[in-house]
Amino acid sequence: MIFERIFRAKATPATTTEMLQLPARAVPLLLVQHPRARRYLLRLRADGTVRVTIPRRGTVAAAKDFAMRNSVWLEQQFQRLAAQPPAPAGWHVGTEIFFRGVPVRLELNRAGAVCFGSEQIIVSAASTDFRSAVQKHLRQLAARELPARVLELAAQHRVSVSRISVRNQKSRWGSCSRRGNISLNWRLIQVPGCVSDYVILHELAHRRQMNHSEKFWQEVAGLCPDYRSAQRWLKQHATLLR
């Protein structure tokens, strides 16, 4: 699960790895320079590493100070991360996954196909871990359905897009470039439709505001009035969608 906090940046970048001493623990601190970043970005990664993205004119010292000033917030995210049940390493018969926002169990029918929800996947008779096959199927569904939904919502709200891709993104649900290229995480096929729509609308809002300013969030609220509920769902279930 990824938690993040941001603030506007000033100054000279660098990249390094250190240890960050929080009140209750010492944790790895990854400082990563990003030439296109316009602000410092603080993240807690699923492996417990604290990552700070340093903008082009940022400094290591300012990045470390930013992390320390948010130490209480980071500790809260560590506690939330620890409370999340771990995602299973292997997906076997009986493993529960999310599909379109609903928890479903993987089953094996008499024909030897893996079934979940309305889906069936032919797998090797010798296989007992179905994660790779199921995820491949989910990615194919996402690649077919998500771009069509982007075009539908873009037309509905009169927003132009250039190109749509579905990828295996590790730390974000979606992104939008200045050229109007939208990229979506294939795992959106696992979330409720209203949550997937929020992520798409979030990226479409960037076609009008390429930032996360107050005006941007006003655009999001206009496109998706209940966006906060979608955000809560993603925060609560993110670790189960790995």
Beta bridge partners of 120: 115
pLDDT at 14 > cutoff 70: no
**pLDDT at residue 172 in the model:** 85
Inter-residue contact 182 to 206 (CB < 8 Å): no
Residue 190, strand partner residues: none
**Contacting residues for 83 by C-beta, under 8 A, at least 6 apart:** none
Res. 110 pLDDT band, cuts 50 70 90: confident
pLDDT at 203: 97
- Which domains does the chain possess? 3-83 (no CATH), 96-134 (no CATH), 138-241 (3.30.2010.10)
The pLDDT, as a whole number, for residue 240 is 67
> Chain-wide mean pLDDT for the chain?
87
Among 64, 15, 68, 69, which residue's Cα sits nearest to residue 37?
15
pLDDT value of residue 228: 95
Confidence tier at 242 by pLDDT (50, 70, 90):
low
| Rounded Cα gap, residues 38 and 120, in angstroms | 45
Instruction: State the pTM of this model.
Output: 0.69
Could you tell me if 175 and 182 are in contact, meaning their C-beta atoms sit under 8 angstroms apart?
yes
User: For 48-63, how does the pLDDT look when each residue is reduced to its tens digit (9 = 90+)?
Assistant: 889 999 988 888 899 9
